[in-house]
């Protein structure tokens, strides 16, 4: 991938001399979905797939961007002056949003850049291609311009830019997982205060298997922001009855005691998911520490049911992938991962069952939906780096 972006850089801009190449990973969330903007816990890990960015400073204020994933768009040009979101800027609104957010914190670029990007995360798959692009941009800006920011700052700046520049009301999980990834570990993150610990993901003869439904989700235009608003309203209603800051402050028992304060049945279901999913995530990490992978898998399954029935962010195709996975011996757990409305499932599968999983789930998926799924056996990688 590094050679690929360098080759393209040379082809487009005349020379690859003095070019730096950076990488930031995508992520998969093992459990803890739609809890990150509800003050709950999440449990993601960085992947070894992600976004590669080749960069060289210019002598003027011009920005030139090219993506090997959107070759038909060609080189998209703009300037470091007066950066604002524009429909015509297409995918470059993500890196430009990060530059805008850096400038808002007083970190101003003193020259333009030539950029070539290539990612091997399937777009719209729910594996955080946008967060990966934001984090690689933030990491690159720090390295190129000497900005005094930590990797946690890079995650926060990426989230801020996606919320305020791109209009996507995401939580912190995706950017945090990409910026703070650690090989062979998942990150147990409390999104209420950003306290975190690394937990070794020792799967003992099992692998993480991602199934891509190839149903594209466009989260900005989807129900994601609506779900967030429903939870915020439910929280305000609960706060009339109990002293809490976030839905993540409640146990299941407390939720059952106070849920009648939520005046709408749909909002009650949304809040129930946020509360129960947070507690599931805490229990899942505890199970992992006790080497109880079977319980971890059961909690993954319960997470999917809650996301399907209470949060209603699954879809027919994803449900087929999960339900077919559950039928296979050697599947420890399987659930939807990411924002929902399409995208991917994540499963923990015993090594000897991986081939059967891909064959049987793939065939059943095509038979029932008429679509083709893609499968990836993934490894857990580190955070961003210069290559």
- Catalytic positions: 174
Question: Helix or strand or coil: residue 128?
Answer: coil
For 151-166, b where at least 16 C-beta lie within 10 A, e where not — what string? bebbbbbbbbbbbebb
The span from the CA of 177 to the CA of 194, in Å, is: 12
3-state secondary structure of 47: strand
Backbone torsions φ then ψ of 264, nearest 5 degrees: -125, 135
Query: How many Cα atoms are found within 13 Å in the side-chain-facing hemisphere of 272?
Result: 20
Tokens of 380: 């857990």
Local structure of 12: helix, strand or coil: helix
Q: How far is CA 326 from CA 58, 153, 329, 357, 374, in A?
A: 54, 39, 8, 10, 18
């Amino acid at each position: 991938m590094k050679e690929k972006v360098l080759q393209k850089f040379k082809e487009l801009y005349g020379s690859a001399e003095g070019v730096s190449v950076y990488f930031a990973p995508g992520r998969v969330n093992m459990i803890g979905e739609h809890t990150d903007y509800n003050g709950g816990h999440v449990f993601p890990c960085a992947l070894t797939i992600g976004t590669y960015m080749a960069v060289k400073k210019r002598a003027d204020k011009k920005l030139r961007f090219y993506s090997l994933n959107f070759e038909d768009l060609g080189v998209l040009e703009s300037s470091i002056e007066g950066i604002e979101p524009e429909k015509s800027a297409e995918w470059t609104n993500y890196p430009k949003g990060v530059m805008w957010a850096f400038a808002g914190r007083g970190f101003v670029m003193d020259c333009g850049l030539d950029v070539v990007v290539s990612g091997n995360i399937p777009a719209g798959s729910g594996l955080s291609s946008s967060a990966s692009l934001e984090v690689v941009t933030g990491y690159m800006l720090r390295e190129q311009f000497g900005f005094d920011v930590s990797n946690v700052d890079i995650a926060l700046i990426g989230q801020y830019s996606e919320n305020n520049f791109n209009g996507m009301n995401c939580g912190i999980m995706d950017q945090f997982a990409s910026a703070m990834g650690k090989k062979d570990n998942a990150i147990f993150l409390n999104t209420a205060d950003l306290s975190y610990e690394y937990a070794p993901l020792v799967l003992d003869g099992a692998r993480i298997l991602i199934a891509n439904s190839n149903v594209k989700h466009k989260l900005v235009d989807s129900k994601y922001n609506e779900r967030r608003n429903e939870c915020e309203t439910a929280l305000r209603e609960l706060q009339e009855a109990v002293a809490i800051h976030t839905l993540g402050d409640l146990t299941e028992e407390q939720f059952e005691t106070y849920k009648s304060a939520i005046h709408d049945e749909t909002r009650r279901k949304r809040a129930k998911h946020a509360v129960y999913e947070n507690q599931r995530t805490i229990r899942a990490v505890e199970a992992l520490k006790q080497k109880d992978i079977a319980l971890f898998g059961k909690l993954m399954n319960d997470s999917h049911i809650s996301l399907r029935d209470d949060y209603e962010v699954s879809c027919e195709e994803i449900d087929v992938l999960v339900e077919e996975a559950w039928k296979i011996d050697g599947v420890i757990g399987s659930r939807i991962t990411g924002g929902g409305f399409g995208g991917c499932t994540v499963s923990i599968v015993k090594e000897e069952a991986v081939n059967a999983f891909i064959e049987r789930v793939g065939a059943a998926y095509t038979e029932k939906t008429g679509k083709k799924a893609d499968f990836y056996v993934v490894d857990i990688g580190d955070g961003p780096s210069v290559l």
